[in-house]
A and B are shown apart, each in its own frame.
Chain A
Amino acid sequence: MSVLALLLAGPLQSWGSAARFARRTTENAPTKSGVIGLLAAAQGRDRADDLSDLAALRFGVRVDQRGTRLRDYQTAHHQVTEVSMPVSERFYLADAVFVAAVAGDDPLIGELHRAVRKPVYLPYLGRRSCPPARPVDLGEYGESDLEEVLERVPWQAAGWHQRRRRQEPVVTLETFVDATSGDTSPDSLRDAPLSFDPLHRRYALRGVRTGRVQVNNPMARQLPDHDPISPLGGD
């Protein structure tokens, strides 16, 4: 089993799972369908191609920098008839950073790693208008499991964010990992991709287990001890 880690950081990201019609919401963390779609696109698969091998990968994300929610109000007109389309609300996460990881058999992970480094279709963060701001590839971890990798990858938050939390030498980050059969009452999200066929997109329910990991803060302020009273012998 090996694991491929991805860095999802950008000025805007948008990860919809239950969005319908004119209100296009985003989840707080990348969806499995969004990340699997990114990998399939990197490999150059067509929308209608089979993706059961990718959907079978174990998936997890870590929230390195939560970001803020942004609402966009959008109007559009039909390209040909110029009829106005329904006004839509689109939600984004601004300034967020995530680490996503997929775990699977070594050959497939190796293939995906090569694809991410040399993608056929460029990666985007949930919606095509959201390009990544930093390289997506965080490397391949052989002989590891998903949870371990989400703990081991160093904190990817922006420098200003790390400095803002400099009082915390160790920070706690939330994780969302595919539930296993042993999990009792996991949350569920309809984002396990069955088909990206534009004529009939299909998603299955996926169990999600919420967890926490602790990582070091490289910007933590370590104040030296300073006790000027003890050398005086006080009273």
Chain B
Amino acid sequence: MYLTRFRLNTARSGTRKLLSSPQAMHAAVLAGFPDLLPSDSDAPRVLWRVDRVSAAEVFLYVVSSGRPDYTHLVEQAGWPAAGTGWQTGEYAPFLEKLAAGDVWRFRLTANPVHSVRTKDGQETKVTAHVTWRHQADWLLQRQEAAGFRVARKPDGEEAPEGQETPDRYAQYELMVHDQRRLEFSKGKRNGSGKATRVRVNTATFDGRLEVTDPEALRRTLTAGLGRAKAYGCGLMTLAPVE
């Protein structure tokens, strides 16, 4: 497994095209794997995520089983003359070292959804969580199966004055931010049919976690969490706690 980081040059129109369309970005990410044939349906999934740290600091992270070649991305959306391309690190040794009880910072961009039925007898429909509380709940419900536990704040939060129960989200080292609503057309317009409109709500989670089940966490880190993985969702990364 490999983890790759690519810094996007936001001053270029090629970058803007990629950032405005998750479909174009997905195609560009996959185009970095010469061995990955379109007919190869059993190939492990490539996960990617865009981190917008600030207007001029935008990073693309990719987790893949093969080593990517992003020459085309540098030409379209990087700094071709500077000679600084992308960085790829071997992920497997890092994943092997994960042990129960380890504490890491994490970041995850996901598509938190649930299924709801609005009328009796109707089929359930996948619906996005839009408030940060629901989105936080979505992650907290999945943490056990995903092999980690969101860390609690060291000094157990007391209930604020005049409030009976403490805000249960305040006890976690968890931040939900950068909620986005992506909307774009999928597929080609032909004579008769219209292109499908795709709507994806995303949220980014930042926080601290404790590893509970290393095997399950390895699966989470390499296979992703949640839906819409083709549109930049589901990739979780770990970073050292400062």
Contacts and interface: CB of A to CB of B under 8 A. Distances in A.
A167 B54 contact: yes
Contact of B177 (A221, A226, A234): A221
Interface string B53-68: 1110000010000000
B206 A226 contact: yes
Contact of B242 (A225, A232, A234): A225
B97 to A, nearest CB: 9
A226 B87 contact: no
A232 B105 contact: no
Given A233-B89, A235-B88, A226 B3 contact: no
Nearest to A222: B175
B88 A224 contact: no
Contact of B89 (A221, A224, A226, A232): A232
Overall SS of chain B's interface: strand
A183 interface: no
B53 A223 contact: yes
A227 to B, nearest CB: 5
B88 A234 contact: yes
A224 B94 CA distance: 22
Contact of B5 (A221, A224, A229, A231): A229
A228 interface: yes
Contacts of B177: 221, 223
Given A225-B239, A226-B237, A228-B237, A235 B87 contact: yes
Nearest to B91: A232
B88 A231 contact: no
Contacts of A231: 94, 238-240
A179 B81 CA distance: 52
Contacts of B90: 232-233
Contacts of B51: 226
Interface string A197-235: 000000000000000000000000101111111111111
A229 B3 contact: yes
Interface string B25-53: 00000000000000000000000000101
Contacts of B175: 224
B107 interface: yes
Contact of A167 (B55, B107, B206, B239): B55
B71 to A, nearest CB: 16
B91 A226 contact: no
B239 A228 contact: yes
Contacts of B89: 229, 232-235
A233 B5 CA distance: 13
Contacts of B93: 232
A218 to B, nearest CB: 16
Interface in A136-194: 167
B66 to A, nearest CB: 15
Contacts of B53: 223
A93 to B, nearest CB: 29
Interface in B60-108: 61, 87-91, 93-94, 105, 107
Interface of A: 167, 221, 223-235
5 contacts: A224-B105, A225-B242, A226-B107, A228-B107, A231-B94
Interface of B: 3, 5, 51, 53-55, 61, 87-91, 93-94, 105, 107, 175, 177, 206, 237-240, 242
